[in-house]
């Protein structure tokens, strides 16, 4: 019974602290802290109006493109005020408990947006949770780069969106909820017209050996509608260096797909040099077919098709880009356990003792040092701090808390919208 009481107190802790600070119990922001089981039974006019508005917008559809005003109208923020990133995060949390998803979703490091900005809302299957989503920040980053390439010439070709959807969707074997998250994210990116701000830093966490494959994937995407123009090449030339690649590789990859030039194909082959003659004959002008203004470099369609087929292997590594190497670790452990004791390294036994646990790496240690300067942070502050250290916040918290559990069986970082730092634990880790 005590355990159940403690569990209930834990679930209500965020709501209780919010009410204590703001004296607000019934706004949508306050309700976003309530557990889903209590939210279902809560009677609130603003909540009922918000749900009704979303349902009317969706109609019978699974997903619809709209704008944030649809939901911000019921949120405790004035129309002339800036919308904070944490507002959108709490809104996403609330909508998820109500069975809806939204993009931009700042829980996945999406940029903050406000009144009048585009949004995509969609229905979520029951039990869907952002915390267990397999759509990693790495996959979202690649999709952002892909959409940037697709939008390079301000025209979204159906072949390109189809190719992108297949490679980042069905091949990843995502759950229904994650398939919807990825599709909504893609549709929102097209509406939002993303920039390359912050891409270089985020791309540093991509595995180096995969970056050329990602670059080929993006190039194949640009070619998937049968041609590639100067705008798409220019966009790729910006992206390649952000992946640590020479921008000259763009032309190398494109050249591999390019047909022989028309001049080479159409020039006659000389069989025998003509004898000198004074007679002259008028050669008619060749008929010139009018080119489409949107046409770019002419591509060999067979080569494009083969490249697209080959680049579909990109899907085999996308799901693993930002995940831990758990399988490799388990494999190594199994190999070591299967070895006779005399064949194992001399320090094998001692390496598993508490006194010789693997230290926290320097990047995460520096991040924790900075984080320990305060006991309470707003999530936006911590996200910025993580970016300054070249880390993704979610993964960084997991690494540090895993280390803390190994050391003292207590997490050092807790909270979602407000991040709390256990100073006692952090001092023990850093001493």
pLDDT tens per residue, range 258-277: 654 444 444 443 334 455 55
pLDDT of residue 331: 42
pLDDT of residue 416: 77
Q: What is the dihedral of CA 274, 276, 278, 283, to 10 degrees?
A: 20
pLDDT of residue 110: 82
pLDDT of residue 291: 44
Q: Tally Cβ neighbours within 10 Å of residue 229.
A: 15
Per DSSP, helices labelled H in 120-175 are: 137-150, 158-168
Task: Identify which of 31, 89, 95 has the alpha carbon closest to the alpha carbon of residue 378.
Answer: 89
pLDDT of residue 333: 42
**Tokens 């979204």 belong to residue:** 156
pLDDT tens per residue, range 405-422: 777 767 889 887 788 898
Cα 419 to Cα 130, 221, 266, 371, 413, distances in angstroms: 18, 40, 68, 10, 7
Residue by residue, pLDDT tens for the chain (431 residues) are 666 666 666 667 777 787 777 778 788 888 888 888 788 777 788 899 999 999 999 999 999 999 999 999 999 888 778 888 889 999 999 999 999 999 999 888 788 899 999 999 999 998 888 888 878 778 888 889 999 998 998 877 787 877 777 766 555 667 889 889 999 999 999 999 888 877 887 788 788 888 888 888 888 888 877 778 889 999 999 999 999 999 989 988 887 766 544 444 444 433 344 555 555 556 566 555 444 444 456 666 666 666 555 555 555 555 455 444 344 434 444 444 334 433 444 443 333 333 444 578 888 888 999 999 988 898 888 888 988 887 888 888 888 888 887 777 678 898 877 888 988 788 878 87
Q: What is the CA radius of gyration of the chain?
A: 28
pLDDT of residue 352: 36
């Amino acid at each position: 019974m005590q355990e159940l009481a403690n569990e209930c107190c834990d679930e209500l802790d965020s709501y209780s602290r919010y009410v204590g600070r703001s004296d607000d119990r019934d706004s949508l922001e306050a309700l976003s802290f309530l557990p889903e089981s209590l939210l279902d039974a809560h009677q609130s006019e603003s909540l009922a109006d918000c749900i009704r508005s979303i349902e009317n917008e969706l109609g019978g559809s699974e997903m619809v493109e709209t704008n944030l005003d649809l939901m911000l109208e019921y949120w405790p923020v004035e129309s002339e005020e800036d919308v904070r990133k944490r507002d959108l995060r709490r809104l996403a949390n609330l909508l998820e408990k109500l069975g809806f998803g939204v993009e931009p979703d700042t829980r996945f490091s999406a940029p903050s947006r406000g009144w009048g900005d585009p949004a995509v809302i969609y229905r979520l299957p029951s039990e869907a949770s952002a915390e267990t989503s397999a759509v990693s920040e790495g996959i979202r980053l690649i999709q952002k780069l892909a959409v940037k390439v697709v939008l390079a010439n301000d025209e979204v070709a159906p072949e390109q969106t189809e190719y992108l959807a297949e490679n980042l969707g069905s091949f990843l074997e995502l759950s229904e909820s994650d398939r919807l998250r990825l599709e909504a994210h893609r549709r929102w990116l097209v509406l939002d017209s993303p920039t390359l701000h912050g891409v270089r830093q985020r791309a540093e966490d991509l595995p180096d050996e995969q970056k050329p494959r990602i670059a080929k994937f993006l190039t194949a995407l640009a070619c998937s509608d049968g041609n590639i123009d100067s705008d798409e090449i220019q966009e790729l030339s910006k992206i390649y260096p952000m992946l640590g690649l020479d921008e000259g590789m763009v032309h190398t990859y494109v050249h591999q797909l390019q047909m022989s030039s028309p001049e080479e194909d159409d020039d006659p082959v000389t069989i025998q040099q003509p004898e000198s003659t004074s007679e002259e004959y008028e050669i008619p002008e060749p008929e010139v077919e009018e080119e489409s203004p949107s046409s770019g470099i002419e591509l060999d369609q067979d080569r494009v098709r083969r490249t697209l087929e080959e680049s579909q292997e990109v899907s085999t590594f996308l799901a693993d880009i930002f995940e831990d190497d758990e399988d490799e670790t388990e494999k190594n452990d199994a190999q070591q356990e299967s070895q006779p004791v005399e064949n194992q390294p001399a320090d094998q036994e001692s390496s598993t003792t508490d006194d010789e646990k693997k230290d926290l790496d320097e990047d995460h240690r520096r991040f924790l040092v900075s984080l320990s300067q305060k006991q309470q942070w707003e999530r936006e502050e911590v996200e910025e701090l993580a970016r300054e250290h070249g880390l993704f916040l979610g993964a960084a918290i997991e690494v540090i808390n895993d280390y803390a559990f190994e050391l003292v069986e207590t997490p050092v970082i807790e909270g979602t919208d407000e991040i709390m730092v256990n100073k006692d634990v952090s001092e023990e880790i850093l001493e």
